[in-house]
């Protein structure tokens, strides 16, 4: 499950912030998950709770923000919705689409207490 290592990456970000900003407890974590990132939100929730145990973010609430995917269709010459990485263009049904949004997962905000 690659969500486990991703959750560890999230913890790393949280601990870096905790060190820099000198807080000792995180109450909520807002995580943006792109539709094309390959990250399963449910798996991420499960791994998040496991990884945060015993850290500054123990018991923190995980708020997942879904970021829809979109891409640049070379045939249409415009940006189109891309629900999945291998989706066809909704306009021309073609597959020459360069994903432009929704590939990432990132920590958007931390609420500290
Ligand atoms: Zn197209």
Residue pLDDT, tens place only, 1-14: 689 999 999 999 99
**Centre of ligand 1 from the C-alpha of residue 39, in Å:** 26
**Centre of ligand 1 from the C-alpha of residue 86, in Å:** 13
Would you call 89 helix, strand, or coil by DSSP?
A: coil
Six-digit token pair at 57? 């973010």
Would you call 16 helix, strand, or coil by DSSP?
A: helix
The CATH class given to the 2-68+102-112 domain equals alpha beta
Residue count (the chain) = 113
| In contact, 80 and 70? CB cutoff 8 Å | yes
**Centre of ligand 1 from the C-alpha of residue 18, in Å:** 45
**Centre of ligand 1 from the C-alpha of residue 105, in Å:** 26
The contacts of residue 105 (CB under 8 Å, 6+ apart) are 6, 31, 32, 33, 34, 37, 39, 44
The residues spanned by each domain of the chain are 2-68+102-112
**Centre of ligand 1 from the C-alpha of residue 104, in Å:** 23
Query: pTM for the whole thing?
Result: 0.88
Looking at residue 38, its pLDDT comes to 93
């Amino acid at each position: 499950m690659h969500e486990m290592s991703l959750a560890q990456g999230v913890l790393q970000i949280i601990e870096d912030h905790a060190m820099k900003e000198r807080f000792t407890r995180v109450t909520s974590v807002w995580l943006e998950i792109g539709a094309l990132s390959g990250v399963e939100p449910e798996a991420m929730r499960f791994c998040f709770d496991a990884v945060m145990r015993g850290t500054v973010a123990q018991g923190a609430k995980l708020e997942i923000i879904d970021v829809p995917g979109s891409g640049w269709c070379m045939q249409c010459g415009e940006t189109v919705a891309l629900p999945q990485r291998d989706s066809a263009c909704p306009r021309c049904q073609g597959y020459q689409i360069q994903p432009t949004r929704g590939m990432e997962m990132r920590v958007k905000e931390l609420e500290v207490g």
